[in-house]
Chain A
């Protein structure tokens, strides 16, 4: 069974710190990887996508991908209380059209 694993948390960090969120996936041929942020009762919001090994930076967010280790991570620098949410790792394990396999999500709590 194709799976995406995340630590459910909560991950607690103080304001201004770096939050590190991790995700592993089971299907070695996966090609595209996404991080969604979901506030309680709201829709998942796409914040990062990554397709090749290495780092991808966008503002305070950095996604890291290591296909050999089947590992993807999200770093949030200078964490803010407004970053407190559940972060969902999603992987496209199909060729062709994109259907996503999600992890259960990691809850991040940023304390002022």
Chain B
């Protein structure tokens, strides 16, 4: 079984540019989550999809962040325009159930905004 796949693994962009991160969950997993870890801080929840619907987006920092999951398969997270404080590692995770038994993380995308 393929795991959760994220790409790119690294991205370096200039302040003000746009970046799109992609996540492919484990096949058949309806639940998809985005988390972020900024330097020196803990991993923090961004949002949660159930299939193509946003179940919870309470962790999204501001309207420069847009997440989509068209067709309930892969998801994208777009940051537009990027700011310096957006730098960090963005993790995607998926689960078949509600996540009560934990979920599987991808290896993350390291975003650096310069």
Contact = CB atoms under 8 A, between A and B. Distances in A.
A12 interface: no
Contact of A99 (B56, B104, B105, B107): B56
B21 to A, nearest CB: 14
Interface residues of B, number: 27
Contacts of B55: 97
Contacts, number: 57
Contacts of A99: 33, 45, 48, 56, 59, 99
Contact of A46 (B31, B41, B98, B102): B102
Interface residues of A, number: 23
Contact of B41 (A42, A97, A104): A104
A43 B42 contact: no
Given A45-B105, A98-B95, A99-B33, 15 more contacts: A32-B100, A34-B102, A42-B107, A43-B91, A43-B105, A43-B107, A44-B105, A97-B50, A98-B98, A100-B43, A100-B45, A102-B43, A103-B42, A104-B41, A105-B42
Interface of B: 4, 31, 33, 35, 41-45, 48, 50, 55-56, 59, 91, 95, 98-108
